[in-house]
């Protein structure tokens, strides 16, 4: 199993960016398939490492990868392909919440983790917890390892205040969040280095205190009772 991202994979993505058309892609289909296989093997190796300290619902690299074809319905970019390899790794729901994401693209590679689009019920529960336990949230987001690896939490926010909370609420800065997201960027040199998989795995480890806390919040009611049967 190949645990390295090959330079040829990067070279293919660079070429695709310069020649983003169906005719070129068909002529270079073998290069694409080789690069895709490389990414599948790399993610397979990453899953093996993650399974040592987490429980994933996503079982294979092939299952994790997004399509390379550009969905032109939702973007102004009408080119037929997305010159990147990206995907997601899901944790075992309903008790283990959060997800891992990766984007491999020359000059723009990054990994992410967190909660991009929590459903209304989950978002309401998260905000209730923020309002009830602001000190716990401050400690959670001030975690030294988390901040060293990912920096500050990102995500879309409402402009004023969410429904049910006054504008002058003591924790309004956190209550405004609609997403709870962390990212780490990597240079091309880092991505192609032999220890890249190790770096990604260690980065994902750093999010676990946040995931563990959120999993508990989203699997219990406001009074602390489990909302799922064992």
Alpha helices in 117-192 (DSSP H): 120-132, 134-141, 144-150, 172-175, 188-192
Token readout for 91 is 């944790």
pLDDT for 2 equals 74
Question: Residue 199, Cα to own-chain centre: how many angstroms?
Answer: 15
Predicted local distance difference test score (pLDDT) of residue 229: 61
DSSP assigned state of 104: E
In this prediction, residue 191 carries a pLDDT of 98
Q: Is 182 exposed, middle or buried (0-12, 13-18, 19+ CB in 10 A)?
A: buried
- The tens place of each residue's pLDDT in the chain, 230 residues long, gives 678 999 999 999 999 999 999 999 999 999 999 999 999 999 999 999 999 999 999 999 999 999 999 887 777 778 999 999 999 999 998 888 999 999 999 999 999 999 999 999 999 999 999 999 999 999 999 999 999 999 999 999 999 999 999 999 999 999 999 999 999 999 999 999 999 999 999 999 999 999 999 999 999 877 777 777 65
Spatial distance between the Cα atoms of 49 and 199, rounded to a whole number of angstroms: 11
Q: What is the pLDDT of residue 95?
A: 86
- Among candidate residues 17, 15, 37, 18, the one with its CA nearest the CA of residue 28: 15
Q: What is the pLDDT of residue 230?
A: 52
Spatial neighbors of 188 by CB under 8 A, at least 6 apart, are 10, 106, 107, 109
Q: Is residue 36 a contact partner of residue 65, using CB atoms and an 8 Å limit?
A: yes
Distance from the Cα of residue 204 to its chain's centroid? 9
Cα(218)–Cα(197) distance, integer angstroms: 30
Please state whether 205 falls in left (phi above 0), alpha (psi between -120 and 50) or beta: alpha
């Amino acid at each position: 199993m190949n645990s390295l991202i090959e330079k040829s994979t990067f070279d293919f993505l660079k070429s695709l960016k310069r020649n983003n058309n169906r005719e070129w892609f068909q002529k270079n289909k073998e290069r694409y398939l080789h690069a895709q296989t490389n990414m599948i093997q790399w993610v397979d190796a990453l899953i093996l490492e993650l399974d040592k300290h987490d429980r994933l619902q996503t079982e294979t690299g092939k299952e994790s990868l997004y399509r390379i074809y550009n969905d032109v319905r939702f973007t102004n970019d009408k080119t037929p392909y997305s010159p990147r390899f990206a995907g997601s790794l899901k944790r075992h729901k309903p008790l283990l919440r959060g997800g891992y994401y990766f984007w491999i693209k020359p000059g723009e590679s990054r990994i992410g983790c967190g909660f991009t689009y929590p459903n209304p019920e989950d978002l309401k529960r998260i905000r209730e917890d923020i309002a009830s336990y602001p000190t716990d949230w401050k400690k959670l987001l001030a975690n030294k390892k988390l901040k060293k690896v990912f920096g500050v939490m990102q995500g879309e926010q409402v402009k004023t205040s969410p429904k049910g909370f006054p504008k002058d609420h003591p924790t309004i800065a956190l209550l405004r969040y609609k997403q709870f997201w962390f990212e780490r960027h990597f240079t091309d040199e880092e991505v192609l280095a032999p220890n890249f998989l190790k770096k990604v795995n260690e980065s994902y480890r750093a999010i676990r205190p946040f995931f563990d806390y959120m999993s508990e919040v989203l699997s219990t009611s406001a009074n602390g009772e489990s909302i799922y049967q064992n």
